[in-house]
Structure 1
Amino acid sequence: MLKNHLKIAFRNIRKFGLRSFIHVIGLSIGIAACFVVYNLVSYEYSFDTHQEDRDRIYRITSVTGNGQEEWPNPGAPIPLVEAVRNELSAAEEVVPIFSAYRFLVESADETENFGISTKVVFADEKYFSLFEYNWLAGSPSSALDQPNTVVLTNSVAKKYFGEQPLNEILGNELVYTDSLRVVVTGVVEDVKQKTDLIFTDFISYETLLSNKEIRARRNVDDWGSVSSNAQLFVKLGADQKEKAEHELLAIKEKYVESDGNWTTNFEFESFEDLHFSDTFSGNSADRSTLNGLIIIGFFILFIACINFINLETAQAKLRSKEVGVRKTLGSSRKQLITQFLVETYVIILLAIIGAALLSQLATSYFQEVLPADFKFDYWNINNALFLIVLSIVVLLLSGFYPSMILSGYSPIKAMKDKSIGHRKSNFQYFLRKNLIVFQFGSSIAFIIVVLAINSQIDFLLNRNIGFNKEAVLHISTPFQGTLDKTKLLKNELEAIAGVEKVSLSSDMMISGSLWTSTVEHDLNGAPEEVSMQFKTADTSYLSLYEVPILAGRNYTLDQSEIVINEAAVEKLGLESAHAALGKQVEYDSMYLSVVGVIPNIHTQSMHQAIRPMMLGYDERNLFTVNTKLAPNVDLKASVDAMQQAFKKIYPNETRKFQFLDETVEQFYTSEVRLRKVLLFATVIAILISCLGLFGLASFTIAQRTKEISIRKVMGASLSNILVLISKEYVVLIGLAFLLAVYPAWYFISNWLNDFQFRIEMPLGIYFISGIIAFVLSISIVSLHTWKAANRNPAKVLKDE
């Protein structure tokens, strides 16, 4: 029986070639979209799934606030470690880690340089009891219980010591950051599974606590110091989360002092959420983006299934006699349903083959927005099971209703060609038209959203940010570097032809980082605290960025002088920029005098409002080198010379100078990715909708060929016929446009609310979107109508 069903299925696929081609293309696109999204979602949710009891592991995070704003941080104060160990009874394991920043690694005699490592961490033996590693040499219980010891992964052990036997590596020394000498006490196997715990060098946590210099630099004893480098993981007992939260709150109230409006709270973050939060590699995923991709993928598939239903029900009249003959010869309705479902499933299998090719094309198109190590494994068991389940879902969505309709025809009416009924009152006709409205409504909504997002991104990239970012490059110096070396680099850069200005600062004028602090000032005789953004720089900083001074002058190298922006003037309760001159604020036990006022410039992305800001000089925080190139210089030659100067001062560093305008563009990477994804989805939705309309119009207009010929004989012109046939579709596109407007407006309004600076709702894009859909649909319908109207009426009506 199955063999017979398959034979008939292939025969019908060949017979109705256009219909079959449209079905395969449409379903291939829908299945490919779902297949790519499934693999991406599976990849993002596969991190650290090998860790035992991961549902009971938590990271303790900090949330600092001043009553007006809150700043979450994945780190925790280092003193919290002992407090949690002693007073959090719900914790079975307490594991502190301190991720180091760009450590230079050398051999014991310092003759061999292994380069900069960003995967060094301070940890104790509890780390290896909480997280699973396979030990190749050394003892997990004692390898990190002493200061100045290190455990290596197998890959870096080979990098440092070559092919020496692992047991012989134990006891050898390495030097980190020029002065930290450690002994190798263990080697573990590299983690083969996907993980966010990217570390390769594990220096004992006791080293951090016992080294006075490191202890002071890392604020080991300061409850008020919160850094993302210092993180704390705990494993709670089963069903102990609520108890642990109460105990953690008690610890906070016992040890953390409130400073005016400033407060610090601690929270538990599930280890299962680590990959969707602040990761050590910075390659975190966004759940809302993944959920959006899932919706888009299945939405595209749903539109493709609608196409299938539309075309099958439109073609029902052509197959009604086939049904009548089969029923007359004894076929039951169940057999007919099986036949139609087998035929549908064959089309779906052909679509899956096409989807494999389209999936490869899609991943190539989205290569720059996909994770670097994301790969398609077409033949793994999970993908096979997914495609099987998806094919069954598609079969039920697209094949079940048409099979019920086709198998339900009366043999007598089918043989007399009366199975469809009057076109205007038929439910199938009603359903098809509504599905067309849904398809084109979805396409129009996609077009509106993409055009709006594109307008906002253009606004973000082209808005005047208040200073000149053109031809400005920046680079950060090593964290362990000295100010003398930084100043030497500045001198080297200033000597390069083509370099106009060089300035040292804590940060670029605009960046993704934020340094805030509280200053105190007297307002009407009463002290008041104000939260301010703070940047430190030398005196050439403002001139390099061409920031105008509205009142007063630039600050000098006197650390008691500052320049503030207009937002700070308003926040301090002062009447004008000139009124701010000479005013004093207290910061870090120092009184700072306002000597100048600058405009409100953008120092962060336009997601954020412009904050009150002060600038001054502090040589302790000059980690960034800002360079301004002269006009009309050879950019490549100048940048190469700058890079050589940096390499001369810091021979072991691999950092590169970056253009500031490229850095600003990176602020909106997620928006650009969203635009690319939605643009792709829009093109696909339009393509599927047009394919469906193309097939539907070809069948419906073919059924009206005799009507068109009679009208032509009676004197109707081509334009009359085009208007007659097209007006029905004009109404449908109009309804689709009306249905698309509100969902698109709702999405765009909510999306724009994430920006403090945004465009006004662009009403013109609604008109443009409607015109695009109208032109596409009428062009398709007119093409079929024109072909039908140009047929010779004598040939069409010769049998009448």
Structure 2
Amino acid sequence: MYRSYLKIAFRNLLKNKASTLINIGGLAVGMAVAMLIGLWIWDELSYDRYHANYERIAQVMQHQTFNGEVGTQVANPALMGGEIRDKYGSDFKYVLQSSWNGDHTLAYQDKKLLKPGNYFEPEVPEMLSLNMLQGTRDGLKEPYSILLSASVAKAFFGDADPMGKIFKVDNQADVKVTGVYEDLPLNSTFRDMTFILPWKLYLISNPWVEEMEGPWGSNFTQTFAQIANNAEMAAVSAKIKNVKLNKVDKEETRYKPVVFLHPMSQWHLYEEFKNGKNIGGRIQTVWLFGIIGFFVLFLACINFMNLSTARSEKRAKEVGIRKSIGSLRSQLITQFFSESLLVAMFAFVFSIVLVLLMLPFFNEVADKKMSILWSNPLFWTIGIVFSLLTGLIAGTYPAFYLSSFQPLKVLKGTFRVGAWASVPRKVLVVMQFTVSITLIIGTVIVFRQIEFAKNRPIGYERDGLVYTSLTEPIHTHFDAISHELKSSGAIVAMTGSGSPTTEVWNTNGGFNWEGKDPNLGVDFPNNAVTHDYGKTVGWKIKAGRDFSREFASDTSAFILNEAAVKFIGFTDPIGSVLEWNDQPFRVIGVVEDLLVQSPYQPVRPSLFHLETGQSGLAIIKINPELSPKDALGKIEAVFAKNDPASVFNFKFVDEEYAQKFGDEVRTGKLATFFAILAIFISCLGLFGLASFIAEQRTKEIGVRKVLGATILSVWGLLSKEFVALVLLSCALAIPLSYYYLHAWLQQFEYRTTISWWIFVAAVVGALLITLLTVSYQAIRAAVANPVKSLRSE
């Protein structure tokens, strides 16, 4: 019996090929979008779960009150780990100190590669549950050892055994390979840690760390911890809150440091803090795409239900005949459900094909390496259960409504579908376009916000600007190298700097000025630069002058940005005195605010002073008359001549600046992709309904044409109903989108406005899309020969 149901269902699907294609295609696209978003959300929610101790690992962070606001930072004093172990050891399994993940030159014989890695205390392989392919997790016990990731080992040795080989790190220390671990996945915080060096080696290579006079006042390392098996994260976090406050001197207590544990489970999705409180972060994007996925799938289901119910009304005569020859109502219900379920299952299979086709593009945009979870029972359970539910819901109306028809009325031709039968379809169409138009408006606002921030004045010229690490040999011959590069025509200017122009690597406290509140703790970005910094980056002097070699006193001088002048309250800053650690510095210049950190936030009060030691970076302005490739080739040759043991590595400032918009650009691109698919699904539904209505009114159109109706009037007759529905959708979508987008923009202090023309454009666009979609069927019906249509009736 069930076999016959499926056979009849299959025949009906083949009989109405266009309707079947629209039904399966629309539902499959919706399922595919939901599947892609589901895979993306799964990847986001599984971030860092590669590490077996995921639930018990945390990063030690601190809140401090600077410049009148509570700020949160991951940097700690180098003594933090030891102090926590000594005072609260029973609450922890591991407390490990770490450097920052950064590029280092690894050299083996004649081969040199620049790779990112970390200095870590020796228990890190155990804490992070690294999968050791060679060696053991105890490989960092010796200070002159190194653990390599599988990819780095492959890059150096191919298939040869790397164990015991000797590397030179940064042309300084010789270390022995004591282990190889599996590369960490992309959805791990430590994804870029391609090798690990012992923390002891960091202390040996940087003796100044243990020689610091005030080690608790300087935050320059990271601290990670794994709590004990019998401990509770919140309770342990509360215990250690004063661990730094109890060690700092009286001056530092003004910053009110509060130490806490930030669980690994929150690193990726709950990474943002404001005024000492966690305000979420990426989790908001997860919710956003989850909602988008739900609504796109909802649109596809609306199409499916609309077209299923519309087409089923044509089968009233079939129901009458079946009933008259003895079919039970239960059999008719089963028949209609069989057809609906068959379409849903076909759509599910087709959606998997679509996902396979779209995944490469989706992974590229989302910066992920996702794949279908073939072996995950949850994936198949959700897919199959959803398909069954969709089929059952879509088949409910035809199954229970049509099976209730009285065969006598149907066969005599006295049966008519009620006037209210089309109301549910109209309501669903309105809901469809309300969602689609809201998505379109949202996408436009996201890109406007990105462009608004991109067009913000940044206070310097980033075109042609590159920076590279400054090694000891390059620093020793800095002036000679700069002169040689200028003479070769490769560069316009070159300078030393403690931080790149796109980041803050160093901040300082200990500043005082006349009229300052003695209880105010301040922390300013304070960049140490060389004389040609302003010329190289092209900053704009607003008052006073730039640093000059003609003034020896400039070694005790500051240049302030406008935000610093405003914060300090200087009315006439030039010549004013700022004390830094009780040493007087005179303000010689004020520059326009340089946009260094988030383009969505106000510029921080910042200072610049002359570097008296070795700068960390060389910032270079390449000659605009040369191609970047030629200029960089000349620069690399000169650097290699002066420092043959190091790898020349550079970064373009404009590319680094563009990365600040990375998350927002990805969000915008994905939202655009889903909005286009939502409109496509909605248009498929409109096309199907227009086809059904045109077919339903064939006789009426024929009569109108015989009586003199024009093609335009017939087109208007069939189109106006859909136009009215879309206008109603616009009326609902505009206030809805304004409400939510206005709230979304509030998270940015530097934000765009929601202009009226966006809504007008959305309305016009929706109407044009509707008319284009409906017009094909309307014009096709309007130009049909009325004789044929009336004769067929």
TM-score (norm 1): 0.88
How far is the alpha carbon of 1:630 from its aligned partner? Answer: 4.0
SS at match of 1:223: helix
SS at match of 1:233: strand
How far is the alpha carbon of 1:343 from its aligned partner? Answer: 1.6
Alignment CA distance shift 1:567-1:241 (3 Å): closer
Counterpart position of 2:277: none
Matches of residues 709-724 of structure 1 in structure 2 within 5 Å? 709-724=702-717
Alignment CA distance shift 1:672-1:97 (3 Å): same
SS at match of 1:564: strand
Partners of 1:57 and 1:631 in 2: how far apart? Answer: 49
Contact 2:702 2:789 in 1 (8 A): yes
Partners of 2:777 and 2:69 in 1: how far apart? Answer: 62
Q: In structure 1, what residue type is equivalent to 2:469? A: T
Does residue 1:675 correspond to 2:671, yes or no? no
Partners of 1:630 and 1:259 in 2: how far apart? Answer: 46
Q: Point out where structure 2 has 5 or more consecutive residues left out of the alignment.
A: 273-279
Q: In structure 1, what residue type is equivalent to 2:355? A: S
Q: In structure 2, what residue type is equivalent to 1:121? A: Y
Does residue 1:561 correspond to 2:548, yes or no? no
Does residue 1:782 correspond to 2:775, yes or no? yes
Counterpart position of 1:304: 300
Q: In structure 2, what residue type is equivalent to 1:248? A: I
Q: In structure 2, what residue type is equivalent to 1:12? A: N
Partners of 1:688 and 1:654 in 2: how far apart? Answer: 52
How far is the alpha carbon of 1:721 from its aligned partner? Answer: 3.0
SS at match of 2:98: strand
Contact 1:502 1:544 in 2 (8 A): yes
Q: In structure 2, what residue type is equivalent to 1:769? A: A
Counterpart position of 1:64: 64
Matches of residues 699-738 of structure 1 in structure 2 within 5 Å? 699-738=692-731
Does residue 1:287 correspond to 2:304, yes or no? no
Counterpart position of 2:741: 748
Counterpart position of 2:763: 770
Counterpart position of 2:114: 116
Deviates more, 1:699-708 or 1:460-469: 460-469
How far is the alpha carbon of 1:628 from its aligned partner? Answer: 2.6
Contact 1:79 1:221 in 2 (8 A): no
Matches of residues 23-422 of structure 1 in structure 2 within 5 Å? 23-49=23-49, 51-66=51-66, 68-88=68-88, 91-99=91-99, 101-106=102-107, 111-113=109-111, 115-124=113-122, 126-133=123-130, 144-145=140-141, 147-150=143-146, 169=163, 174-182=167-175, 186-187=178-179, 189-190=181-182, 195-197=188-190, 199=193, 201-208=195-202, 211=204, 213-214=206-207, 216=209, 222-227=215-220, 229-238=221-230, 240-257=232-249, 259=252, 261-276=254-269, 286-371=282-367, 373-376=369-372, 383-417=379-413, 420-422=416-418
How far is the alpha carbon of 1:469 from its aligned partner? Answer: 2.8
Contact 1:308 1:398 in 2 (8 A): yes
Contact 2:151 2:183 in 1 (8 A): no
Among 585, 589, 604, the alignment partner of 1:611 is: 604
Alignment CA distance shift 1:530-1:583 (3 Å): farther
How far is the alpha carbon of 1:275 from its aligned partner? Answer: 4.6
Using the aligned pairs only, state the percent identity: 28
1:160-180 per-residue CA deviation (whole Å, 9 max, x = no partner) reads: 7887879xx56x755433343
Deviates more, 1:702-711 or 1:393-402: 393-402
How far is the alpha carbon of 1:742 from its aligned partner? Answer: 1.8
Q: In structure 2, what residue type is equivalent to 1:187? A: G
Alignment CA distance shift 1:574-1:47 (3 Å): closer
How far is the alpha carbon of 1:693 from its aligned partner? Answer: 0.5
Alignment CA distance shift 1:476-1:324 (3 Å): same
Contact 1:145 1:206 in 2 (8 A): no
SS at match of 1:86: helix
How far is the alpha carbon of 1:368 from its aligned partner? Answer: 2.8
Partners of 1:387 and 1:218 in 2: how far apart? Answer: 61
Contact 1:521 1:572 in 2 (8 A): no
Counterpart position of 1:546: 538
SS at match of 2:36: helix
How far is the alpha carbon of 1:677 from its aligned partner? Answer: 0.9
Does residue 1:516 correspond to 2:512, yes or no? no
Contact 1:305 1:397 in 2 (8 A): no
Contact 1:475 1:655 in 2 (8 A): no
1:581-606 per-residue CA deviation (whole Å, 9 max, x = no partner) reads: 11001123321111122233433342
Contact 2:469 2:649 in 1 (8 A): no
How far is the alpha carbon of 1:305 from its aligned partner? Answer: 0.4
Q: Point out where structure 1 has 5 or more consecutive residues left out of the alignment.
A: none
Q: In structure 2, what residue type is equivalent to 1:389? A: V
Counterpart position of 1:698: 691
How far is the alpha carbon of 1:787 from its aligned partner? Answer: 2.2
Q: In structure 2, what residue type is equivalent to 1:93? A: K
Alignment CA distance shift 1:29-1:225 (3 Å): same
1:502-533 per-residue CA deviation (whole Å, 9 max, x = no partner) reads: 22222344x14364333634444865665433
Partners of 1:652 and 1:361 in 2: how far apart? Answer: 46
SS at match of 1:612: coil
Alignment CA distance shift 1:589-1:318 (3 Å): same
Partners of 2:57 and 2:516 in 1: how far apart? Answer: 51
Does residue 1:456 correspond to 2:449, yes or no? yes
Alignment CA distance shift 1:478-1:580 (3 Å): closer
1:640-686 per-residue CA deviation (whole Å, 9 max, x = no partner) reads: 32333344445455554444333322221122112211111111111
SS at match of 2:751: coil
1:556-599 per-residue CA deviation (whole Å, 9 max, x = no partner) reads: 35321122223222222223xxx211100112332111112223
Among 490, 495, 509, the alignment partner of 2:487 is: 495
State the superposition RMSD in angstroms.
3.4
Q: In structure 2, what residue type is equivalent to 1:415? A: L
Partners of 1:217 and 1:103 in 2: how far apart? Answer: 22
Contact 1:60 1:233 in 2 (8 A): yes
Contact 2:105 2:169 in 1 (8 A): yes
Matches of residues 475-486 of structure 1 in structure 2 within 5 Å? 475-477=467-469, 483-484=475-476, 486=478
TM-score (norm 2): 0.88
SS at match of 1:315: helix
How far is the alpha carbon of 1:386 from its aligned partner? Answer: 4.1
Alignment CA distance shift 1:59-1:420 (3 Å): farther
Matches of residues 625-664 of structure 1 in structure 2 within 5 Å? 625-651=618-644, 653-654=646-647, 656-664=649-657
1:64-83 per-residue CA deviation (whole Å, 9 max, x = no partner) reads: 33153344333433322222
Alignment CA distance shift 1:485-1:313 (3 Å): farther
1:269-290 per-residue CA deviation (whole Å, 9 max, x = no partner) reads: 22333454779xxxx9933323
Matches of residues 521-532 of structure 1 in structure 2 within 5 Å? 521-524=512-515, 530-532=522-524
Partners of 1:602 and 1:157 in 2: how far apart? Answer: 39
Alignment CA distance shift 1:262-1:320 (3 Å): same
Deviates more, 1:302-311 or 1:545-554: 545-554
Q: In structure 1, what residue type is equivalent to 2:114? A: I
Alignment CA distance shift 1:117-1:716 (3 Å): closer
Alignment CA distance shift 1:15-1:56 (3 Å): same
How far is the alpha carbon of 1:181 from its aligned partner? Answer: 4.0
Partners of 2:5 and 2:726 in 1: how far apart? Answer: 39
Q: In structure 2, what residue type is equivalent to 1:243? A: A
Q: In structure 2, what residue type is equivalent to 1:249? A: K
How far is the alpha carbon of 1:734 from its aligned partner? Answer: 1.3
1:397-427 per-residue CA deviation (whole Å, 9 max, x = no partner) reads: 433444333334333344345555332xx1x
